[in-house]
């Protein structure tokens, strides 16, 4: 489709995707430039753990959350428009869990499983658990919001924006889900080995599958559930 034939709605979607993409890239670039100073700050036990957590949470939100929040604010779109509803709630969760089964099996089979705990993979979680009850509650609310809700919901919004801009005629083929699954692989460390290849395949299946489940059910809670209780917990 030539630029002359692009509809006003498609132009809006292009702008939305540019806002999300540039915001994410800017945060990644900021981290790349100051990664040493950033990690030194986060690992400094002389600094209050809540302050350190807030900084790392701000960075994570900048990568997965800030862009979609800005777009929704500009477009006056409610998060509820992207599948945060009661209809098909349990079907969405069960379908998403099914998509994550190969990834869970891989974690066990590869010997990477060392216990189940939501957000155990998040830096500073262990330090947070050693804090007083007030800091623990406030800190965990931040963790749940950033690494649970926004990390999962970011995939939902980005996928839907891409799918609206580049629709597919096939129900199980979704370009938004394809892009999100590939990006998920690219932003995480890649191990060039047999096990590394298996991890890539099961991760692609999990992310693509959960977004297809969201598309079919119209419910986004499955994606959020996956990041609350699976992705960041094993």
The model's pLDDT over 179-195, given as tens digits with 9 standing for 90+, comes to 999 999 998 877 888 99
**38 pLDDT higher than 70:** yes
Q: Which of 87, 216, 103, 84 is nearest to 163 (CA)?
A: 216
Higher pLDDT, 4 or 150: 150
**48 pLDDT higher than 70:** yes
Q: Which of 35, 211, 57, 46 is nearest to 140 (CA)?
A: 57
Higher pLDDT, 79 or 169: 79
Could you tell me if 208 and 226 are in contact, meaning their C-beta atoms sit under 8 angstroms apart?
no
Interatomic CA distance for residues 35 and 28, integer angstroms? 10
Taking only the tens place, the pLDDT of each residue in 84-136 is 999 999 999 999 999 999 999 999 999 999 889 889 888 898 899 888 999 99
Interatomic CA distance for residues 88 and 226, integer angstroms? 16
């Amino acid at each position: 489709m030539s630029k002359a034939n692009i509809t006003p709605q498609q132009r809006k979607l292009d702008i939305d995707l540019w806002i999300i993409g540039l915001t994410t890239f800017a945060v990644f670039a900021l981290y790349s430039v100051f990664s040493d100073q950033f990690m030194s700050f986060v690992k400094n036990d002389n600094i209050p753990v809540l302050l350190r957590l807030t900084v790392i949470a701000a960075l994570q939100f900048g990568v997965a959350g800030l862009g979609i929040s800005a777009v929704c604010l500009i477009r006056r779109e409610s998060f509820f428009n992207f599948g945060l509803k009661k209809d098909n709630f349990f079907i969405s969760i069960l379908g998403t869990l099914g998509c994550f089964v190969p990834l869970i099996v891989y974690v066990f089979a590869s010997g990477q499983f060392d216990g189940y705990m939501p957000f155990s993979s998040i830096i500073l979680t262990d330090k947070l658990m050693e804090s007083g009850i007030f800091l623990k509650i406030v800190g965990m609310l931040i963790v749940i919001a950033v690494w649970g809700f926004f990390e999962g919901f970011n995939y939902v919004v980005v996928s839907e924006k891409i799918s609206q801009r580049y629709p597919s005629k096939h129900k199980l083929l979704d370009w938004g889900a394809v892009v999100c699954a590939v990006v998920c692989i690219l932003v995480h460390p890649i191990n060039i080995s047999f096990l590394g290849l298996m991890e890539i395949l099961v991760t692609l299946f999990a992310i693509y599958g959960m977004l297809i489940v969201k598309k079919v059910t119209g419910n986004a809670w499955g994606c959020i559930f996956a990041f609350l209780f699976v992705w960041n917990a094993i």
